[in-house]
Amino acid sequence: MTMKRSLIYFDEEDFQNSIDFLEVVSQMYKDIEYETYAVCFNNKGDAAVSKFDYLISVKDERIRNYDISNITNCIEELQNSYAFDSILIPATYFGRMLAPRLAMRLKVGLVADVTDIKNCNGLVEMVRPAFSGKIMAGITSKNCSPIMMSIRPNVFHITSALSKNTQTIKFHPSTVEASKIRQLEVKQKEKAKDIRESKVLVSGGGGVIDNFEHLSLLADELNAMVAASRRIVDSGIATRSIQVGQSGKTVSPKLYIALGIYGSLQHIEGLKNVENIISVNINKDAPICSLSDIVVEGDAIEFIDKLVKKINENGKEEEKL
């Protein structure tokens, strides 16, 4: 069987996500031999060394940041030269603009926002949320090359510790044009906190819909961030930026405290590699309880008040000592 080739677009804003996509390639091809390529634009791509088989380094002053047109031209040229079997792009703001444009140029289908990969007798099945996260759709690509997908960040994590002898390929594209992008001004924006970066999340669902703001009391004590289920967001109580689930964000904290969350498939799919889950719910048979390390049957708001009180009492005792 011919060796497979997979190209991963190396996102300059988060190298680790692109490296983690190596796990996607591993799940796609299983026992089939494959080679991995990382394509980097106007940077050294040091993070790809020892992880990928090949590092394609593209340096051209005409290619500016967020220059989707020229980057599309370049990857199309790479595809014509190397005939990749799959192309993987992070589902970031930039990646969501690049992926469909590149798919149209290559005249292939695109599966967007992939959250899982399955290999069914050699046929790759890409899983993504559909109908606003109400169902999970399994999509296969038959007799089409390359397989193209954009992948939700923070879902896959590389498990292989193999070190590779990465070969660097300096690629000089012939289809790059003078950039049509001009930088008018630069404004520094304070980086907003992201729930995906928090080690502890205090998350609320329908059971705390009338007292959602109460969650911040516990979050402050635990140096945590507040997250929410889709029901809270759809009710207009919280923004989608803190939503956990298929139509929100995928999180991997060390501790996830689920307060009044039922735990539908849509929500559970947003939890990946969480070390510990504590659920507080009046319904001990809620789906999320079956995944939890500790289940507290009772009112979530009462739980917050008692836990915060206990934390403060312990703090005062330590001060006396």
Which has more pLDDT, 142 or 51?
A: 51
Contact between residue 68 and residue 98 where contact means Cβ atoms under 8 Å apart: yes
Which has more pLDDT, 137 or 53?
A: 53
Residue 186 lies in a domain: no
What does the pLDDT read at residue 193? 84
Residue 187 lies in a domain: no
Residue 189 lies in a domain: no
In which domain, by residue range, is 165 found? 4-171
Residue 176 lies in a domain: no
Domain count of the fold of the chain: 2
Residue 138 lies in a domain: yes
What does the pLDDT read at residue 190? 67
Q: Say yes or no: 199 and 310 in one domain.
A: yes
Token readout for 316 is 């005062």
What does the pLDDT read at residue 317? 61
Which has more pLDDT, 265 or 1?
A: 265
Report the b/e string of 12-30 with b at 16+ CB within 10 A: eeebebbbbbbbbbbebbe
Peptide bond into 100 cis (omega under 30): no
Q: Say yes or no: 77 and 163 in one domain.
A: yes
Range name among 84-88, 100-104, 158-162 with the lowest pLDDT average: 158-162
Instruction: Report helix, strand or coil for 116.
Output: strand
Residue in 236, 245, 234 with CA at minimum distance from that of residue 113: 245
Radius of gyration of the chain (CA): 23
Q: Say yes or no: 11 and 108 in one domain.
A: yes
Q: Say yes or no: 160 and 31 in one domain.
A: yes
The C-alpha atoms of residue 101 and residue 96 are separated, in whole angstroms, by 9
pLDDT level of residue 130 (50, 70, 90 thresholds):
confident
What is the mean predicted confidence (pLDDT) over 112-131? 85
What is the mean predicted confidence (pLDDT) over 43-69? 86
Confidence check: pLDDT of 13 > 90: no
Q: What is the CATH number of the domain that holds 16?
A: 3.40.50.620
Q: Say yes or no: 214 and 127 in one domain.
A: no
Q: Say yes or no: 144 and 210 in one domain.
A: no
Q: Say yes or no: 212 and 155 in one domain.
A: no
Q: Say yes or no: 104 and 161 in one domain.
A: yes
Confidence check: pLDDT of 140 > 80: yes
Question: How does the average pLDDT of the chain come out, rounded?
Answer: 89
Q: Which of 119, 138, 171 is a domain's end point?
A: 171
Which has more pLDDT, 250 or 161?
A: 250
Q: Say yes or no: 145 and 221 in one domain.
A: no
What is the mean predicted confidence (pLDDT) over 44-68? 86
Q: Say yes or no: 28 and 145 in one domain.
A: yes
The C-alpha atoms of residue 116 and residue 19 are separated, in whole angstroms, by 16
Top-ranked range on mean pLDDT: pick from 57-61, 114-118, 158-162, 285-289: 285-289
∠ CA 58-59-62, nearest 5°, is 115
Q: Which of 103, 138, 171 is a domain's end point?
A: 171
Residue 254 lies in a domain: yes
- Is the pTM here over 0.85, yes or no? no
Alpha-helix residue ranges (DSSP H) falling in 83-207: 95-106
Contact between residue 262 and residue 286 where contact means Cβ atoms under 8 Å apart: yes
The C-alpha atoms of residue 19 and residue 153 are separated, in whole angstroms, by 11
Contact between residue 108 and residue 86 where contact means Cβ atoms under 8 Å apart: no
Residue 182 lies in a domain: no
Q: What is the CATH number of the domain that holds 265?
A: 3.40.50.1220
Q: Which of 123, 138, 171 is a domain's end point?
A: 171
Per-residue pLDDT tens digits for 206-235: 999 999 999 999 999 999 999 999 999 999
Q: Say yes or no: 29 and 166 in one domain.
A: yes
Residue 177 lies in a domain: no
Q: Say yes or no: 83 and 154 in one domain.
A: yes
